Chains A and B, each alone.
Chain A
Amino acid sequence: MSTTVQPQETASADGYVRLPLAFFCSPHRPRLNIYQRVSVESKPVLLASRNSGLSDSQVVDLQKRGQKSALVLRSEMEAVSEEMLESLECIVADDSIPAEGRFLVLQSVIGLEITRTLRSKDSSRFVAVSQDVGGMIANLVTRQHVSPQKLFDVAAHDTATFVHITNVAAYAVLLAEQLGISDKHERQQIAVGAMLHDIGKRSIPKSILQKVGKLDAAEREVIESHPKLGYVELCKDPNISHGQLMMVYQHHEWINGGGYPVGVLADEIHPWAKLLAVVDVFDALTANRPYRESIGRLEAIEILATGTGTQFDTQVLKCWISIF
C-alpha cells in the first residue's frame, strides 16, 4: 500500500517557490509578486503585485477554494533573501502561520544560504548556518507539535541538498522526541548534527554524486569516504559535540556490522547516529529522483522495515514507524 506524493513546487522545480498562504498575511512577509497556478500543468499567473499584496478578500476566496499556498518567483525571492533571513526567527515564531507552513518558509528561505555556504571552501559559515537553522527547526518541530504527516506532506521532496538536510533535521527531531529525548538542548544538538551529516559530500565530485547508473567499485569507494571526510572536517571544531561528530561519521553504519566506514556493531554506534540512519534513508527514499517514481511514506516505511535488526536498530525503527 502506498500513498501518492503530489509533485510540489520547490525552489528547484520550475523557477517558483511555494509558500503558505498565511505567510503572505503575516507582518514579516517580504514585498514579492504572488502567483497562483490554475491547474497543475499551467503556468502560474499573477495573483497580487508586490506593491498591493494579497487583500483580505483574496485570502478568504483562496481559502474557500482549498488553497493553502501560493507561489513567488525564485529570482525575486533571492533578491530579498537577506531581508527574509533577518526576519526568519520572527517568522518561525509567528503563530499565525501553521507550524508546518513555517517549516516550508524556513526551508525555502535558508535553501539559498545553505547552497551558497556549502559551496564555500571554508565550512565554518555552513556550520554556523546549521547551528542557527538546526536550533530553529528543533524549536519549531517540538514546541509546535508538528504532525509528522503534515510535515511530510509539506516538505519538499526533491534532490536539492538543502531540502534533504532540512527534512532530515526535522525528521530527526520528531524521532528524538518520540524516543523520549525530552532535553531541549539535546534535541537542538541532534537537529544541528542532522544538518551537518553529509558535509563530507562537499568533497565528492558531482559526477559521482549525481550519477544515475550503477557506481563502479572505485566510485563507490569515493562516495563511501564522505562520512570520514565530514568527520575530519569537523573533529577539531570546539562547537561540535561528540554525538554530532558520530552522526556525521556513523550514519551509514549498520547495526550488524555491514555498514561503512568502519563496520562497527550496534554497541559501538552512537544512539544519535542510529536515529539519523533511519530518517536519512527515509528521506532518500521519498525524494523524487530523475530515474524513478517518488515513493510514498508508507511504501518507504515498508522498505525501511526490511532492514530491521540488520541495517537499523529495531527499537528506533519501530518508533519511527509508530509515528506514522
Chain B
Amino acid sequence: MLDFNLLATAPDRLWDAATVVATVPEAETTASSARLTQSEDPRKHRRIPLEGRAILVHENQIIGVYTCNLSAAGVGFFCPFQLFPATETQLIIDGIDLMKITVETCRRLSKNCYKCGAIFSERSKSPGELRDIFSRLRKSTDEGDK
C-alpha cells in the first residue's frame, strides 16, 4: 500500500519569477525522502514523502520552496526564510488545486532553509481528495520519467 513516489513540480514561469528560493542541505533531502511506516509515524495522518518544487505565495511575493511530505492534514516544505505560526499563505503545485495553508511549525536548518509544517487552512483532505492528489502527483512523476 502507498508504495509509490510522489513528485511535486512548480510552474516554470512562477519558479523563474521567484524572488528567493530555498537552499536545502543535501543531508536533509535524503532524510526527508525516507518513508515512515504507519507504526513509525506517530501522527494521526501519515506523512508521505513528497519531493519536488512548489511556489509559496507569501505577502504578495513569489517564493520558491521544496516540498518534503504530504498528508491528509497538511504539507511539509523547505522555505528560504522563517515563517511564523498561524501565518496563512498559499502553496502552488502543478496539476493540483491551490493549497491554502496555515503554518504550524518552523525550524531553521541552515541559512536560506527553514523546515516548515503547515496544515490545510479549511479542513483536512478526505480520503478521496487525497487519492486524487496522489494520483495527480504520481502521474506527474510518470510524465517526468518519459
Contact = CB atoms under 8 A, between A and B. Distances in A.
A261 B82 contact: no
B120 interface: no
Interface stretch (A144-152, A170-178, A262-270): A262-270
B107 A232 contact: no
Interface in B95-146: 105-108, 114
Interface of A: 228, 231-232, 235-236, 249, 257, 261-265, 268
9 contacts: A228-B105, A231-B84, A235-B84, A235-B85, A261-B107, A262-B82, A262-B107, A265-B108, A268-B82
Interface string B27-38: 000000000000
B17 interface: no
A228 B84 CA distance: 9
Contacts of A249: 84-85
B106 A262 contact: yes
A133 B103 CA distance: 32
A217 to B, nearest CB: 11
A265 B114 CA distance: 12
A268 B114 CA distance: 13
Contacts of B86: 231-232, 235-236
A261 B108 CA distance: 9
Nearest to A236: B86
B13 to A, nearest CB: 31
Given A228-B105, A262-B107, A263-B107, 10 more contacts: A231-B84, A231-B85, A231-B86, A232-B86, A235-B84, A235-B85, A261-B106, A262-B82, A263-B108, A264-B108
B100 to A, nearest CB: 17
B84 A257 contact: no
Contacts of B107: 261-263
Contacts of A228: 85, 105
A268 B82 CA distance: 9
A231 B86 CA distance: 9
The residue among B82, B85, B106, B114 with the most chain A CB atoms within 10 A of its own CB is B85
B41 to A, nearest CB: 15
A295 to B, nearest CB: 32
- List the 6 closest A-B pairs by CB distance, nearest first: A263-B108, A232-B86, A228-B85, A232-B85, A262-B108, A264-B108
B101 to A, nearest CB: 15
A232 B86 CA distance: 6
Nearest to A228: B85
Nearest to A253: B108
